Structure 1
């Protein structure tokens, strides 16, 4: 999730480390069943905090990319992937997080609901609305 939201490997690693530090600090107050949703939520919030504070950065050049890149990195470089990613990032919350967690990261509906503190019916309804919005936006862009 951090890589997808921040688009910067080093920054994503920093956020994940911060999230695990917070997990360690709260280890006595969390039940085992709540650790995963709590960690995902904290990671998401830290990413959003970084994005709010982010200032314009130079884009990485092709010579900076390592060989054997991950599928997500490959998708981001393709035109269609860039358009899709821009559309997803343009969604309002909680729609953006729902699409990322369910469709990109393939978390279960139950995990998404627990992480975002939504009911299961809300997750399904909001996800339907988010996908419909994305479909409409992407249809408008087709030649």
Structure 2
């Protein structure tokens, strides 16, 4: 079973960290959550089937992030850590501004819409993986995702000059 745990860690560490980082907006907190999530995976490794590991791990990570966000402050929105390289400063600034608006709009969505957008549109998980992770049916995922995208579109249209 230890061999499987190493395989799971290697296969899913980037996805788990990316989800935690996006939800928490803080690399250090995301690392803490990822470590806790993999500790829980270690503790439950005997009871999980291989097909259920990824959705289980993403659900645990998401829930731990949401718990942290509930316990902590609603903090002022911060910009992403880095800008795309190789662009002119004006292009970087505009890209950063648009990125912050989109990032803030996504973070402003209620659950489960926020997690749906992050998992499906940002991280590009399959609809089936998203449904399993969030414990929703496939039609629910598609309906909620449609609503979330419409809400984002409406919010971003309001922000346009």
Q: TM-score under structure 2 normalisation?
A: 0.76
Question: Runs (4+) of structure 1 moved beyond 3 Å?
Answer: 55-61
Give unmatched runs, 5+ long, in structure 1: none
Work out whether 1:131 is the aligned partner of 2:149.
yes
Of 41, 53, 56, the match for 2:59: 41
Q: Of the candidates 116, 122, 133, which is equivalent to residue 134 of structure 2? A: 116
**Quick one: structure 1 residues 16 and 131, their matched pair in 2 at CA, closer, same or farther if it must change by over 3 Å?**
same
Aligned to 1:103: 121
Correspondence for 1:80: 98
Note if 1:89 corresponds to 2:96.
no
CA distance in 1 between partners of 2:37 and 2:64 (Å): 8
State the TM-score, normalizing by the size of structure 1: 0.85
Query: Aligned pair 1:3/2:39, yes or no?
Result: no
2:38 aligned partner: 20
CA RMSD after TM alignment: 2.4
How many pairs does the alignment contain? 134
Alpha-carbon displacement from aligned partner over 1:61-88 (angstroms, at most 9, x marks no partner): 9xxx6xxx476xx89x811111111111
**Quick one: distance in 2 between partners of 1:118 and 1:59?**
29
The alpha-carbon distance between structure 1 residues 70 and 113, as it changes in their structure 2 partners (threshold 3 A), is farther
